[in-house]
Amino acid sequence: VGSSDPRFFDRYWFAICEPAGAAAAQVTLGVYNNMNVVDCGAVVVRGAKQHNLRASRSLRPRFEASVGALRIDVLEPLAKHRIRIDAASQSLALPRLACDLEWSALLPPEEERPHFRRERGRAVEDYQRFNQIGEVNGWIEVGGELLLARRWWSCRDHSWGIRQGIGIAEPVTGPQPPASQVGS
């Protein structure tokens, strides 16, 4: 971690879409090293229903890319990931959300230029990100229905750093500066 800022994050994000538009999903796993937290979220939209999964835990004593029912494994760096949601570890009171998906890159990652912004001498944004197009194969179970994913379109993002609106709120140390002074 290049900063002691409590907002520092390192996060995976995947978007997945059935080619005809009948289902869509997003999966994220984020690490907040300076707050000792790792969290995740998954959402699947099928028809007019949205199904959600959220979980959080302490990061230490050892980091693993798993939180609650969600696990993401790097099978081949920058080329293949496995995304799993285990239904057995979820509450029986809620509809099941489960998956076993393999994400495969179709294109190499594209790294954005670093984002940096300062306000009143304090770095409020200092992050980087790369994006990558791929496809997904496997299955998703949502609300008792099994969806087979065969070459579903997908993209992913890996981002890290300090970003406004992520983690805790920016500390307030006085009145907001005039718009002409923002960024200095």
d(CA 10, CA 159): 6
Residue 169 tokens read as 């709120």
Q: What is the pLDDT of residues 83-93, one digit of tens each?
A: 999 877 665 55
In degrees, to the nearest 5, what angle opens at C-alpha 79 toward C-alphas 166 and 55? Answer: 35
Residue 169: pLDDT over 80: no
Q: What is the pLDDT of residues 30-81, one digit of tens each?
A: 999 999 999 999 999 998 899 998 989 999 987 888 898 899 999 999 999 9
For the beta carbon of residue 60, count every other beta carbon within 10 angstroms: 10
Strand-pair partners of 27: 14, 42
d(CA 30, CA 16): 18
The DSSP code for 114 is P
